[in-house]
A = this chain, B = another copy of it.
Amino acid sequence: MYLAKIYVTYKPSILDPQGEVIKSALHRMDYAGVQTVTQGKYFEVKLQATDVDSATAETQSFTESLLINQNTETYRFDLSLVADEVDV
């Protein structure tokens, strides 16, 4: 089984209202060193696949078709092999 960790962020030109509000909050809380904040999404997906290549292809495919919005977001991901879990 593979574990895909997928990191989704806004494209640079897209307004990120959340990031701005969090940044101001950190400043009000006296974390003065904070320069920029962006908030994105983080997915962990476990999937069965015959090999890394097919796991990679599958992750890419479902990320692009469902997890992200290609108009506004970009992503990257890591894949690792993990032990099959036995559901109890």
Contacts of A8 in B (CB 8 A): 42
A47–B45 Cα distance when bound, in Å, is: 30
Residue contact A62 to B1, C-beta cutoff 8 Å: no
Residue contact A41 to B43, C-beta cutoff 8 Å: no
Closest to A6 in B: B42
Copies per complex?
Answer: 2
Q: Is the C-beta of A36 less than 8 angstroms from some C-beta in chain B?
A: yes
Contacts of A58 in B (CB 8 A): 31, 33
Q: Is the C-beta of A56 less than 8 angstroms from some C-beta in chain B?
A: no
Contacts of A37 in B (CB 8 A): 43-46
Residues A58-84 near B (CB distance < 8 A):
58, 61-62, 65-67
Taken residue by residue from 16 to 60, chain A's Cβ proximity to chain B (1 for < 8 Å, 0 otherwise) reads as 000000100110010101111111111111111100000000100
Give the contacting residue for A40; candidates B43, B47, B85; CB below 8 A: B43
